[in-house]
């Protein structure tokens, strides 16, 4: 995930609507300074959960940076509320949780609230930028279950479990098991190619 | 239990790739410049929190005082992050150590008023200008050792 602070690679946060939640004036000033420095222009600054819920209900949000609000941990409940109650697309918005300290009895709550990632304070601009870019990557599934709503937490890029082949070998295995089904798939593929003018 | 899986299209991914924007190096420099302007305000806010913390410590009970510990935790956690801006990053580490300590004490119902006190007085020391880096490192090392003493669950024997 490391991003070189000297990199000339460009990114554009100008058009992004960013929700910032921190109850302390100092915490909010730090967040605003970092996020505007990174180029964001449209910010919704909220110091309470209620203000944040109102902003999420009224505006389109592309990114949220939410403090856990220790010791109450109300920030975690806000994230859960966004995942479970906000309308699309806000319920899918990348959410970065910030925290100065997480009490031991709140660690599970922080893990299970549905945030994309947790960033420990003090926040360095390069770290925040890395996490924004990481959380914005497409293709990460979101799960909706009775106990958890949020991004799939299994995101490690690991090879298939031992004893399992690569997915590209599935077709050959399936052909061996059920040759007719694969033949139908092949015929459909050829038909699609023909209609698209790709058949030889 | 049923699970629904959705792979959403994130507008942020598209926005980040839009033409224009900033190179990483410039954006990070802008952010650091913005943070530097906050230094006087952050110093004032950290000092105000420190004074509140000292007042709360003065009224902290001699016996296990859960409400008093909770109050000090709530003050300390609000200050974390400000030290880096004020050019005193050791303050952030000391505050994290204080929060760790209080969390350990409260979750295991143990009590060490002196350990809390040494953290509060170190906060004042680390806020002061002129403390050499080696001195700050030694203070932090001592604080973390105090805090770690309570990290393990108490033994029954």
The B residues from 84 to 113 touching A (CB cutoff 8 Å) are 84-85, 89, 92, 95-96, 99-100, 103-104, 106-107
Contact A13, B26 (CB under 8 A): no
| Residue B100: inside a domain | yes
- CB contact, 8 Å: B10 with chain A? yes
CA pair distance A41, A25, nearest whole angstrom: 19
Residue A138 is predicted with a pLDDT of 81
Q: Is ipTM > 0.95 here? A: no
Say how far residue A152 (Cα) sits from the centre of its chain.
9
Residue A157 is predicted with a pLDDT of 60
Nearest to residue B12, comparing CAs of A92, A51, A149? A92
Section A70-83 average pLDDT: 95
Facing A11 at nearest CB: one of B3, B21, B81: B21
Q: Which CATH class is domain A5-151?
A: alpha beta
Domain count, chain B: 1
Facing B20 at nearest CB: one of A14, A26, A89: A14
| Residue B7: inside a domain | no
CATH at residue B81? 1.20.120.160
B30–A26 CB contact, under 8 Å: no
| Residue B1: inside a domain | no
CA pair distance B81, A99, nearest whole angstrom: 9
Section B70-86 average pLDDT: 97
The per-residue DSSP string of A124-175 comes to: PHHHHHHHHHHHT-TT--EEE-SS-EEE-S-----PPPTT---GGGHHHHHH
Residue A186 is predicted with a pLDDT of 47
Residue A155 is predicted with a pLDDT of 64
For A117, which DSSP code? E
A26–B45 CB contact, under 8 Å: yes
- CB contact, 8 Å: A87 with chain B? no
Give the whole-number percent of chain A exceeding pLDDT 70.
Answer: 76
Residue A32 pLDDT greater than 70, yes or no? yes
Section A178-189 average pLDDT: 44
- CB contact, 8 Å: A24 with chain B? yes
Work out the minimum CA distance from A67 to partner chain B, whole angstroms: 11
Cβ within 8 Å of residue B39, ≥6 positions away: B85, B86, B87
CA pair distance A20, A28, nearest whole angstrom: 8
CA angle at B90 for the pair B86 and B143, rounded to the nearest 5°: 150
Residue A97 pLDDT greater than 60, yes or no? yes
Edge to edge, the sheet with strand A149-151 lists A149-151, A142-144, B4-6
Rounded to the nearest 10°, the torsion over CA B22, A121, A71, A143 is 60
CA pair distance B73, B63, nearest whole angstrom: 17
Q: Decide: helix, strand or coil at residue B86.
A: coil
CA pair distance A117, A132, nearest whole angstrom: 9
A37–B85 CB contact, under 8 Å: no
Question: Mutate which of B6, B12, B82 to disrupt the A interface (most A C-beta within 10 Å)?
Answer: B12
What is the pTM for the complete model shown?
0.85
Provide the residue range defining the domain that includes B69: 41-151
| Residue B133: inside a domain | yes
Question: Mutate which of B6, B13, B27 to disrupt the A interface (most A C-beta within 10 Å)?
Answer: B27
Cβ within 8 Å of residue A18, ≥6 positions away: A35, A40, A42, A43, A44, A61, A62, A63, A64, A65
| Residue B29: inside a domain | no
A30–B4 CB contact, under 8 Å: no
Mean pLDDT of chain A: 85
Residue A148 is predicted with a pLDDT of 94
Q: What is the pLDDT of residues B37-58, one digit of tens each?
A: 999 999 999 999 999 999 999 9
CA pair distance A122, A132, nearest whole angstrom: 16
Kindly list the domain boundaries of chain A, sorted by start residue: 5-151, 158-200
CB hemisphere CA count around A189 (13 angstroms): 6
């Amino acid at each position: 995930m490391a991003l070189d602070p000297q990199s000339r690679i460009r990114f554009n946060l100008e058009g992004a609507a960013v929700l910032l939640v921190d109850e302390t004036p100092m915490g909010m000033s730090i967040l605003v300074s970092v996020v505007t420095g990174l180029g964001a222009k449209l910010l919704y600054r909220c110091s309470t959960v209620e203000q944040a819920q109102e902003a999420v209900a009224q505006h389109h949000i592309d990114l949220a940076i939410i403090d856990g609000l220790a010791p109450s941990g109300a920030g975690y409940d806000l994230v859960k509320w966004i995942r479970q109650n906000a309308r699309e697309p806000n319920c899918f918005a990348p959410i970065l949780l910030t925290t100065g300290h997480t009490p031991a009895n709140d660690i599970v709550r922080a893990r299970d609230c549905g945030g994309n990632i947790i960033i420990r304070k003090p926040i360095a601009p390069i770290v925040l930028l890395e996490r924004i870019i990481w959380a914005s990557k497409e293709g990460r599934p979101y799960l909706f279950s009775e106990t958890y709503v949020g991004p799939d937490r299994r995101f490690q890029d690991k090879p298939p479990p031992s004893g399992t082949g690569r997915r590209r070998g599935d077709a050959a295995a399936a052909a061996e098991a059920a040759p007719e089904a694969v033949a139908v798939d092949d015929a459909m593929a050829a038909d699609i190619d023909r209609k698209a003018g790709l058949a030889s | 239990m049923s699970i629904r899986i959705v792979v959403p299209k994130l507008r942020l991914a598209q926005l980040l790739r839009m033409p224009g924007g900033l190179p990483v190096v410039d954006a990070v420099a802008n952010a650091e410049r913005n943070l530097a302007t906050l230094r006087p305000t952050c110093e004032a806010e950290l000092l105000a929190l420190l004074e509140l913390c000292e007042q709360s410590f003065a009224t902290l009970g001699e016996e296990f005082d859960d409400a008093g510990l909770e109050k000090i935790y709530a003050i300390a956690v609000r200050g974390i992050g400000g030290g880096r801006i004020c050019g005193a990053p050791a303050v952030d580490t000391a505050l994290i150590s204080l929060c760790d300590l209080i969390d350990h004490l409260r979750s295991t119902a143990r009590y060490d008023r002196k350990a809390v006190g040494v953290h509060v007085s170190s906060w004042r020391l680390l806020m002061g200008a002129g403390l050499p880096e080696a001195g700050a490192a030694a203070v932090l090392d001592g604080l973390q050792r105090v805090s770690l003493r309570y990290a393990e669950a108490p033994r029954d024997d």
